[in-house]
Structure 1
Amino acid sequence: MKRIYSFFLMITGWFSATAQEGSERYKDTVFTSVDKLTVTYGSNTNYSGTQQNLEADIYAPAGDSVLQRPMIVYMHGGGFRAGRRFDTACVELCKKLARRGYVTASLDYRVGMADATTAEQSAAVIRAVQDLNAFIRYAKSTADSLHIDTAKIFISGSSAGGIAVLTKAYIKLDSTAAVFGIKNMNDLEGTTNELPFTSSVAGVFSMWGALYNIDWLQKNDIPVGCVHSRGDSTIPFVSGYNRQNRSLLLYGSKPITERADSLGIPTFLHAYDSYKHDLGLKVAPYKDTTAQLMADFFYRLLQPGVKDAPAPVNNPSAQAYVAPAITQRFSQQKQTR
């Protein structure tokens, strides 16, 4: 089936307001307003066999004069069955980060499955990863008009989106990948678009996400930051099964960051002392805490030679702590793209 995709390039005057002075770009809020652009980045067949055009909302600080900015790509949650790019939590988070100077993107990706079998669930995960890779290629193909630095593209997601970005970042060819139908890494690139660019990224930030195989994390993999609730009953903080499928074991943020630390991968973990899933995306004041933690994490990765971790956000009402078992290490690793 022929894939149709369109690329809406931005006009020169898309950015239009001024930055606040006296603040640290990429860490603090430095812009007062944000511009939004909706693009179609590809098209592919969804779980029901229907061709689906895929859109993304791109947010940028209004009036910005910087020509090469880091981009944060965000994938919504919804159990790979639901969710949209314009859900309130997605929009709020992307705008908070854009006001700090990042270009952000909230994606629609193919969701839905016929049932809760392992085959259907694993296929849904791979479709999400393929669409994410397609958007990254799209972003790189339009880097000049988006004013982004293609070596500084970061990925992030919550819940199902967290699973998708972690899978994209770390999946390796092994028996677990075979369960997902992955025989070679090109299977992950998909055909949502076929633009001649790589889908490499510089770092990943997961919120209430997990990995299907902790051994996918290997030395020299990209940095990983995580936010989770210790008592999360939807996606485990440590390990366990989700509600939809009892055959796919999930490894949560604690073992992910512990393994990353043991391998010398720059990592960060912030755990909310709560049982609530997606707490820091949907409940104030935790929403501000989560946005600040993500900004701090990527800010550190953007600074050459910085090895210290982001300081915990001073927000006592959030009842949050930084898990002491994790050595928060930011090494001076040069990423090649």
Structure 2
Amino acid sequence: MTHVNNILHFTILVWFAALLGCQNITRFDDPANTYTPETTYQKLIGEYPFIDIASRAVPVSVQEIKNITYIRYGQRALQLDLYLPKSALIQQKPGIVFVHGGGWRAGFRTNFTPMAIGMAERGYVAATISYRLSPEAQYPAAVHDVKAAIRWLRNNAKKYGVNPQQIAVGGGSAGGQIASLTGVTNGLEKFDPKAKKSSISSAAQAIVNIDGLSDFTSEAARFHEDDPRKNPSAAGAWFGGRYAEKTELWHEASPLFYVNKNTPPILFLISAQERFSVGHKEMIEKMKPLGIPYKVAQIPDSPHSFWLFDPWLQPSVDVVAGFLDQQFKITRSDNAR
């Protein structure tokens, strides 16, 4: 009888999670998924007593559409939330897909809600997505999911007023690395299993990497990401093994090694904590001779996860919107604010 009750309890939890459909965790009650603005605030408030959690309140100038399923894997539905400018002065608006962080194993798409709102206020259609975390599906499943989200947004461009030729992908921390890898692998079917069955491209026209790694293989990255005291480390859990065991995958997942003449423009928005953006300088050195546009912007005296908090959110939005406006040739008079 106890066994039956346990099964019933689990079934109810799964059903309830599907009904809510708003978070991307492997179990509805997964205690390991603790990467939120609230938990991060508690870690940072001692050193940064002036910070506030960025508001998720949606202003009247922005339309929020929540819990849209963008892809299914059997019974598993991955969803996104969409933020649209209500009064944009241009009919077709650029889009951006945001990928949350959390060490590839935690986090929620609502972590990027404040930035998505900020981008909508600047005239962008912004999507915050859930994707499969490492306890559910290891590398490269998350990249597959992000490409699927870009394809969904492009496929629904007319419905939501998106310019299908102006879709960026961005993210923070692990989400920054995933977003960057998604963008630099445009056209590579290995990272996009749905490509052969769809006429809709999953290519991103610009990349926003917010404090995410560009090279897993460097000594500086492995010092933290392959720490032998962690069993497994966050990266190790994602790859299914340490660097020595899964060297090929650690190399394969590093955006640094995909730079070519067709690489999209990249914004590196970084904190004052250098360990999180390892590899971006080396990546830029590869981009320079190819003439690929890039920008490095640092938020001074900031912690990792700065984009979750005021006073850093608005400067971050300004940098991201400014960079994308330039790449998409959008003048300030064209863009809602």
- Other structure's SS at 2:110 match: coil
Which of 290, 310, 333 does residue 263 from structure 1 map onto? 290
Q: Describe the superposition over 1:203-244 as per-residue Cα deviations: whole angstroms up to 9, x where unpaired.
A: 1111011222523111232100111124344x2x33xxxxxx
- Other structure's SS at 1:86 match: helix
Tell me, yes or no, if the aligned pair for 2:195 and 2:201 is still in contact at 8 Å: no
- Other structure's SS at 1:137 match: helix
Change (3 A) 1:92 1:304: closer
Tell me, yes or no, if the aligned pair for 2:184 and 2:255 is still in contact at 8 Å: no
Which of 203, 208, 217 does residue 205 from structure 1 map onto? 208
**CA apart distance, 1:190:** 2.8
CA RMSD of superposed structures (Å)? 2.6
**CA apart distance, 1:80:** 1.1
Tell me, yes or no, if the aligned pair for 1:76 and 1:83 is still in contact at 8 Å: yes
Q: Which residue of 2 aligns with 1:166?
A: 180
Q: Which residue of 2 aligns with 1:175?
A: none
Aligned residue pair count: 233
Does 1 or 2 have the higher relative contact order (CA < 8 Å, sep 6+)?
2
- Other structure's SS at 2:140 match: helix
Are 1:153 and 2:200 counterparts?
no
| Matches of 2:64 and 2:318, distance apart in 1 | 21
Change (3 A) 1:65 1:266: closer
TM-score, scaled relative to structure 1? 0.63
Are 1:104 and 2:126 counterparts?
yes
User: What stretches of structure 1 of length at least 5 have no aligned partner?
Assistant: 1-30, 46-50, 115-122, 173-183, 239-250, 306-337
Q: Describe the superposition over 1:250-293 as per-residue Cα deviations: whole angstroms up to 9, x where unpaired.
A: x2x332233322321000001234472122x0232221111100
| Matches of 1:217 and 1:135, distance apart in 2 | 23
**CA apart distance, 1:198:** 1.0
- Other structure's SS at 1:206 match: strand
Q: One-letter code of the match for 1:73?
A: V
| Matches of 2:65 and 2:115, distance apart in 1 | 16
- Other structure's SS at 1:57 match: strand
Tell me, yes or no, if the aligned pair for 1:43 and 1:192 is still in contact at 8 Å: no
Q: One-letter code of the match for 2:268?
A: C
| Matches of 1:100 and 1:277, distance apart in 2 | 24
Identity over aligned pairs, percent: 26
Change (3 A) 1:159 1:146: same
Which of 106, 117, 126 does residue 82 from structure 1 map onto? 106
Higher helix share: 2
User: What stretches of structure 2 of length at least 5 have no aligned partner?
Assistant: 1-58, 215-253, 332-337
Q: Which residue of 2 aligns with 1:325?
A: none
Change (3 A) 1:192 1:36: farther
TM-score, scaled relative to structure 2? 0.63
Are 1:225 and 2:267 counterparts?
yes
| Matches of 1:255 and 1:274, distance apart in 2 | 23
